[in-house]
Amino acid sequence: MSGRAQAMQVEGETSNLPFIYRQYEREQLLDALRKMHLIRRFEEGAEECYMRGLIHGTMHLSIGQEASAMGICMPLVNEDQITSTHRGHGHCIAKGAEVKRMFAEFFGKTTGYCAGRGGSMHIADVSTGNLGANGIVGGGLPIAVGAALTAKRLRTGKVVVCFFGDGANNEGAFHEALNMAAIWKLPVIFVCENNGYGMSTSTARSTAVANVADRAAAYSMPGVIVDGNVLSEVAEASHEAVERARRGDGPTLIECKTYRYRGHSKSDRNRYRTKDEIDDWMTNRDPIRRYEAQLIEFGIATSDELEAIRGSVQQEIDAGIEFAKTSPMPSIDGLADNVYTLEA
Amino acid sequence: MNAPVREISYSQAIQEAMAIAMEADERVILMGEDIGVYGGAFQVTGDLVDRFGSDRVMDTPISELGGAGVAVGAAVTGLRPIFEFQFSDFAALAMEQIVNQAAKMRYMLGGAVSVPLVMRFPAGSGTGAAAQHSQSLEAWLGHVPGLKVIQPATPHDVKGMLLAAVADPDPVMIFEHKLLYKMKGPVPEGHYTVPLDKAEVRREGRDVSIVATSIMVHKALEAAEVLAGEGISAEVIDLRSIRPLDRETVIASVMKTSRLICVYEGVKTLGVGAEISAMIAESEAFDYLDAPILRLGGSETPIPYNPELEKAAVPQVPDIIDAARGLARGVR
C-alpha cells in the first residue's frame, strides 16, 4: 500500500500532509529512512574503526545532517550528478553508493571506490553520479557548473546538485560559479548545508548576510531556506529546483539549516560552541527521530517495522566493515597508477 | 600522401588546429575571456565564433578560477574544453582548479574518471606589459604530476601538439610565448599530430648541447649560427615538453657533446634548467661532461617595464654565444 493511501486512512485528506507523503510511495519513504540510518551508522562505524586504529588520516562526520543529504537526493535519478564536500559520506550514500565499498576505501583497500587512493575526503561513486567529495572548500562549485554545462550542451537531461557548506559561501569560487550558472541558465542546484560553523567560525562571524540563500538574489536565482533537519521540507525544495532545472529555467540556491553533532574533524576540541547548544539539537531537532515520529504518526510504519529497518542497517554496516577488513591492500608497485590515463 | 604545406603564423596555426578539432568533434568547445567577437586578446580565436557560434566559442566572465573549474567539470563529464587564459599570469587566480582538481581527479578517484582538458597560456616577456602580464610560469605547473606541460616553439609544432592535446585524455597545459604568435613557418594543411613527450634536435652539433624552450629555441639557433662561424659546433634541442621530460634525447646529446647549456625564460632558480641539470647529473651522461653545466634563465626579478631593462631580464642571443664560447674554450 502506498504511503499516500495509508496516510489517507489516518487523515482522511492528503492535501494537508507534508510534501513527501503526497509525492512518494511507502517503499520510497521507508527507503529514505533506511538510507538516513545507513548514513548515521556508517559514520558511527567509521568513527569506531578510526578510534580503534583501523582507519588512519582524518574524517569529517555529518551525523545530524542526514535529512539534508537524503532530502536533496530523493527527487534525483541515478543519471543525475552531484559534487560533494569534505563532509560528504551522507551525499555518497544518499545518491546510491554501497557502504561496503566506502568502508573499503576508508581502509585504503583496492576494493574501495577510489582503489585506496582517495580515502574519506575524496570518496566518489561515478556509477551513481557522485563526481566526488572534495578536500578544498568550494572546490566542487565550479566543477558542478561544468557538469551542468555538459548536460545542457549534450542535451543529456541530467541535473547536477552541488553540495557545499556554509564555509564555502565566502570563497570566490562560490560567487563565480553561481554567476556563471545563472548567465548560462544551467541545470544545477546549489545546496548549502549550513551547519552554523565553518570549522570553528560561526556563520554570524564569517558571513555578512543573515542567510546564505540571501546571496541568490545577487545572481538572479531563487534562494530557498529550509529546515535541513526535516526531510520533507528539504525534499520539497529539491523537487521544485530539479523541475526548474529540467525545464531549462536555470539554477536554484537551497540553504538547509542544519547542525553537525560531531566536531569539524578528528582534531576538534569543541571550544567554540556549548554543550547545551549541541544537546538541544540532538534532543529536540534530530532529523532521523523526527522523520520516524512522522512515519508512525501518519500510519506509514509501525515501530516494529522501524526496528527491523535499524536491524537490517546494522547488518549491512557489519558486513561492510568485514568486507573492508578482508579486502586486499593495494600493491606498492601500483603507486603511480592513474596519475595519467595512458601510462607512459 | 603529404598534405600541402603553407607558411602561416603561430597564432593562425593554433586557430587552424582548434577549428579542425571542433569540426571533427562536437564535444570540443572553446572557453575564455573575450574569445568570441573580440577574437581573443591576441586574436588567436579570431573569427571562430562566426563559424562555430557562441555556444561553442564561449566568452566567460572575468572569473579565472570559476572558468577553469567549469572547464574541469565539463571535461570530466564528457566535453573537451580548450580553455584560454588571457595571460598566463592569470593562472595564479586559477591554481586551485588546475593543481588541486584537474591534475589530481583521476588519481584521487582511483582511475574512475579522466580529465581531457586543454588549457592555453599566452606567456613570456617582450611586449612591454610589465610584471603581471609577462611571466613564464610553466615550471609551476611542470611540478604537478597529473598535468602535461608543453611549450611548442614553431607554428608546425603548436598545431600538431594542440591537436594531440585535444585527443589526449589528460589535462594538457600549453604555454605559448606571445612573441611567437606572429612568427611564420611551414605548416601542413589538415589534421596531424606532434607527440607531447618528445624533444626535437633542431640543429645537430658536436661541441656543446643547448637545450632550450619556447622562444629560446630561436635565440639558441641564432646563437648556433654565429658560433659555427667561430668553429664551435652547437647542437640545439627544442625541449617542447617539460612534463613529461624527454630524457633520452637530452642525455644522448650531452653524451655526444660533453657540454650543456640550458636556456629558458622562466626565472633561473628552481626552473626548467635546474631540472635538466639535475637529470644529467644523475644520468650516465654525467661522466661524459667536460665542463660545468650552465643555466641561462630569467633574472631574479619581476619583469620590468622599461624595454632595455625588460630585455636584460631574460636571456638574449649574445648571452648564449658568450656562454657557449666559455664552455667550448679549448675545443678548437
On the question of pLDDT at B41 being above 90, the answer is yes
Q: Which residues neighbour A69 within 8 Å (Cβ) at sequence distance 6 or greater?
A: A39, A62, A90, A91, A93, A94, A163, A193
| Structural domain includes residue B256 | yes
| Structural domain includes residue B194 | no
Q: What is the ipTM of this complex?
A: 0.96
**Mean pLDDT computed over B144-160:** 98
SS3 A152: helix
Mean pLDDT of chain A: 95
Of A113, A142, A342, the CB nearest to B169: A342
Nearest chain A residue (CA) to B146: A339
Residue B251 and residue B184 share a domain: no
pLDDT score, position B202 = 98
**pLDDT digits over A22-67, tens only?**
999 999 999 999 999 999 999 999 999 999 999 999 999 999 999 9
Domain with B206 in it: what CATH number?
3.40.50.920
Q: Are A179 and A188 in contact (CB under 8 A)?
A: no
E runs forming strands in A199-270: 201-202, 223-227, 252-257
Residue B143 and residue B22 share a domain: yes
On the question of pLDDT at A194 being above 80, the answer is yes
* pLDDT band, residue A15 (cuts 50/70/90): confident
pLDDT score, position A344 = 55
> Does the distance separating the beta carbons of B55 and A143 come in below 8 Å?
no
Q: What's the number of CA atoms in the CB half-sphere (13 Å) around residue A223?
A: 15
Give CA angle at A300 (A295, A306), nearest 5°: 60
Q: Is B195 on the interface with A (CB under 8 A)?
A: no
Give the active site residue among B133, B156, B177, B218. B133
> Does the distance separating the beta carbons of B73 and A147 come in below 8 Å?
yes
Q: What's the number of CA atoms in the CB half-sphere (13 Å) around residue A119?
A: 11
In degrees and rounded to multiples of 5, residue B59 shows phi and psi of: -70, 125
Nearest chain B residue (CA) to A178: B66
Residue B147 and residue B106 share a domain: yes
* pLDDT band, residue A266 (cuts 50/70/90): confident
Asked if residue B292 has a cis previous peptide bond (ω within 30° of 0), the answer is no
Considering its fold, how many domains does chain B have in total?
Answer: 2
**pLDDT digits over B77-129, tens only?**
999 999 999 999 999 999 999 999 999 999 999 999 999 999 999 999 999 99
SS3 A227: strand
Q: Are A258 and A66 in contact (CB under 8 A)?
A: no
pLDDT score, position A1 = 39
On the question of pLDDT at A8 being above 50, the answer is no
pLDDT score, position A222 = 98
On the question of pLDDT at B269 being above 50, the answer is yes
Q: Which residues neighbour A296 within 8 Å (Cβ) at sequence distance 6 or greater?
A: A302, A303, A306
Residue B204 and residue B180 share a domain: no
Substitution target from B22, B63, B107, B109 for chain A, most A beta carbons within 10 A: B109
pLDDT score, position A5 = 44
**Mean pLDDT computed over B178-199:** 98
Residues of A in contact with B170 (CB under 8 A): 340-342
Residues of B in contact with A187 (CB under 8 A): none
Nearest chain A residue (CA) to B111: A338
C-alpha B323/C-alpha B295 separation (Å) is: 9
| Structural domain includes residue B292 | yes
Residues of B in contact with A183 (CB under 8 A): 61
In degrees and rounded to multiples of 5, residue A287 shows phi and psi of: -65, -35
Residue B224 and residue B293 share a domain: yes
Residue B233 and residue B173 share a domain: no
C-alpha A3/C-alpha A301 separation (Å) is: 9
Residue B260 and residue B128 share a domain: no
A264-273, B229-238, B298-307: lowest mean pLDDT where? Answer: A264-273
Residues of B in contact with A118 (CB under 8 A): 108-110
Domain with B176 in it: what CATH number?
3.40.50.970
| Structural domain includes residue B141 | yes
pLDDT score, position B124 = 98
**Mean pLDDT computed over A277-287:** 97
Going by C-alpha positions, the residue among B88, B92, B174 that lies closest to residue B124 is B88
Give the active site residue among B16, B64, B176, B235. B64
Mean pLDDT of chain B: 97
Give CA angle at A126 (A123, A132), nearest 5°: 35
> Does the distance separating the beta carbons of B107 and A113 come in below 8 Å?
no
Q: Is B92 on the interface with A (CB under 8 A)?
A: no
Buried residues in A109-130 as b, exposed as e (16+ CB within 10 A): bbbbbbbbbbbbbbbbbeebbb
Residue B163 and residue B20 share a domain: yes
Nearest chain B residue (CA) to A151: B77
pLDDT score, position B2 = 80
Last residue of a domain, one of B135, B167, B188: B188
Task: Mark whether B177 is an active-site residue.
Answer: no
pLDDT score, position B330 = 60
Q: Is B53 on the interface with A (CB under 8 A)?
A: no
CA distance B182 to chain A (A): 33
| Structural domain includes residue B13 | yes
pLDDT score, position A124 = 97
Nearest chain A residue (CA) to B196: A344
Residue B165 and residue B41 share a domain: yes
CA distance B62 to chain A (A): 9
On the question of pLDDT at A12 being above 60, the answer is no
Q: Long-range contact list for B61-65, CB < 8 A, 24+ apart?
A: B61/A176, B61/A179, B61/A180, B61/A183, B61/B33, B62/B33, B63/A176, B63/A179, B63/A180, B64/B33, B64/B90, B64/B91, B64/B93, B64/B94, B65/A142, B65/A172, B65/A173, B65/A176, B65/B93, B65/B94, B65/B96, B65/B97
C-alpha A23/C-alpha A7 separation (Å) is: 12
pLDDT score, position A68 = 98
Residue B169 and residue B63 share a domain: yes
Residues of B in contact with A177 (CB under 8 A): 66, 69-70
Residues of B in contact with A172 (CB under 8 A): 65-66
On the question of pLDDT at A282 being above 60, the answer is yes
Residue B238 and residue B135 share a domain: no
Going by C-alpha positions, the residue among A139, A147, A228 that lies closest to residue A188 is A147
On the question of pLDDT at A11 being above 70, the answer is no
pLDDT score, position A3 = 44
C-alpha B153/C-alpha B176 separation (Å) is: 8
pLDDT score, position A2 = 45
Last residue of a domain, one of B134, B163, B188: B188
| Structural domain includes residue B97 | yes
Residue that has been written with the C-alpha cell 606572429 in this structure: B182
Q: Are B88 and B135 in contact (CB under 8 A)?
A: yes
**Mean pLDDT computed over A152-170:** 98
| Structural domain includes residue B134 | yes
Residue B314 belongs to domain spanning: 200-328
Give CA angle at B295 (B330, B325), nearest 5°: 25
Please report the number of interchain residue pairs, chain A to chain B, with beta-carbon separation below 8 angstroms: 151
Task: Mark whether B133 is an active-site residue.
Answer: yes
Substitution target from A126, A164, A176 for chain B, most B beta carbons within 10 A: A176
C-alpha A16/C-alpha A8 separation (Å) is: 10
Q: With the CA atoms of A60, A61, A65 and A68 taken in that order, what torsion angle do they form, in degrees rounded to the nearest 10? A: 60
| Structural domain includes residue B193 | no
Q: Are A97 and A127 in contact (CB under 8 A)?
A: no
**Mean pLDDT computed over A212-232:** 98
Last residue of a domain, one of B165, B188, B211: B188
Residues of A in contact with B90 (CB under 8 A): none
Residue B170 and residue B88 share a domain: yes
Question: What domains appear along chain A, each with residue ranges and CATH number?
Answer: 26-318 (3.40.50.970)
